[in-house]
Structure 1
Amino acid sequence: MNKNLSRFAVGLPLILVALTGCNRSSEVSFAKDVQPVLKKHCVECHLPNGQGHAASGFLVESYDTLMKGTKFGPVVVPGDALSSSLYRLVAGEVDESIRMPHGKDPLPAAEIAVVEAWITQGAKNN
C-alpha cells in the first residue's frame, strides 16, 4: 500500500469522528435563542396593528402567537424547517419580494441557523 494512502486510511476514521462531534448541536431554546431573533428582526412589523400583522395576521409576540401562524395558516411545521414558511422566508428561499424581514437586510446566517435548528428540533416552547 502506498505510504500516503496508508496514512489517509488510518487518519480517516479520526477525521470522521471529529466531524461527527461537530455536527452535534445542543437544544435550541425558544425563549433564549429564537425569541431574541424575532424581537430583533420581526416584532417591529409583526405586532398588533403593525404593517406585517395587517398584511398577514402574523404576530411574533409570544410562542403561542407564533405557532398560531398567519391568516393563511401555520408558519412552523415542528420537525420540518423546509416545510416551515417562517424558515423559508427568513432564509431567503422565496421570491425576493416576500423575503423577510421585508425591505431590510437579511438575517445573519447564524440567526437563520438558530431558527432552522429550533424548528428541526420540534419547535418546542422551551
Structure 2
Amino acid sequence: MQMWRRLVAGSLLAITLLTAACGGSNEEPAEVPTGEVSFKKHVQPILLRNCVGCHGGSAGLWLDRYETVMEGTPRAPVIIPGDPDASELYLRITGQKQPAMPIGGRKLRPEQIETIRLWIAQGAKDN
C-alpha cells in the first residue's frame, strides 16, 4: 500500500511539474479575455477540455494543437481567420450549423464561445 501511495504521489508531482514547464494548465478562462486572445492561453484549453475527446482525429479533424486546428479536415478548413461567421468551428459551436457541437456533450458556455469568436475575428493567430 505504501508503494502505491508513493507511485500516485510521484505521478501527481510529475504531472504538476510538466504542466508548469509547458506554460500553464488546461484551466479554461472564466471570462472573455480583454485585448488580444491567445490560442495557447485562451482557446486551446477550451478545445482540449470540450472537443478533443471526439476530435482527436475522428473524421480527420484534430483540435489539439494550433497547426491541426488550422489544417482543418481533408475536405475543408474549419477556421477562416478574421471571419467567425464563415468558420465551420464557430458555426457548429453556436448551433448555426448542424450537427451542433459538441454532440452529446454540454454546450460551451457563452464566454467560451465568445473567446473563440474573438480569436477567429482577430485573425486566429498562434500567439
The TM-score, its normalising length taken from structure 1, stands at 0.72
Question: Greater helix share, 1 or 2?
Answer: 1
Matched pairs, number = 94
The C-alpha deviation readout for 1:31-52, integer Å capped at 9, x for no partner, is 000000001100111114xxxx
Amino acid at match of 2:120: I
Q: Structure 1 residue 111 and structure 2 residue 112: aligned?
A: yes
Q: Which residue of the other structure, out of 75, 80, 97, is the alignment partner of 2:78?
A: 75
Deviation at 1:94, TM superposition (A): 1.5
Q: Percent identity?
A: 43
Give the stretch that moved more between structures: 113-122 or 101-110.
101-110
Counterpart secondary structure, 1:65: helix
Q: Distance in 2 between matches of 1:70 and 1:33?
A: 22
The C-alpha deviation readout for 1:37-70, integer Å capped at 9, x for no partner, is 001100111114xxxx1xx210012100000001
Tell me the residue number matched to 2:40: 31
Tell me the residue number matched to 2:103: 102
Q: Distance in 1 between matches of 2:64 and 2:105?
A: 20
What 5-or-longer segments of structure 1 have no aligned partner? Answer: 1-24
Amino acid at match of 2:102: P
Q: Distance in 2 between matches of 1:37 and 1:82?
A: 19
Q: Which residue of the other structure, out of 22, 35, 40, is the alignment partner of 2:49?
A: 40
The TM-score, its normalising length taken from structure 2, stands at 0.71
Computed over aligned residues only, the root mean square deviation of the Cα atoms, in angstroms, reads 0.9
Counterpart secondary structure, 2:67: helix
What 5-or-longer segments of structure 2 have no aligned partner? Answer: 1-33
Structure 1 moving runs of 4+ over 4 Å: none
Higher CA-based Rg: 1
Q: Distance in 1 between matches of 2:102 and 2:75?
A: 18
Q: Distance in 2 between matches of 1:83 and 1:125?
A: 19
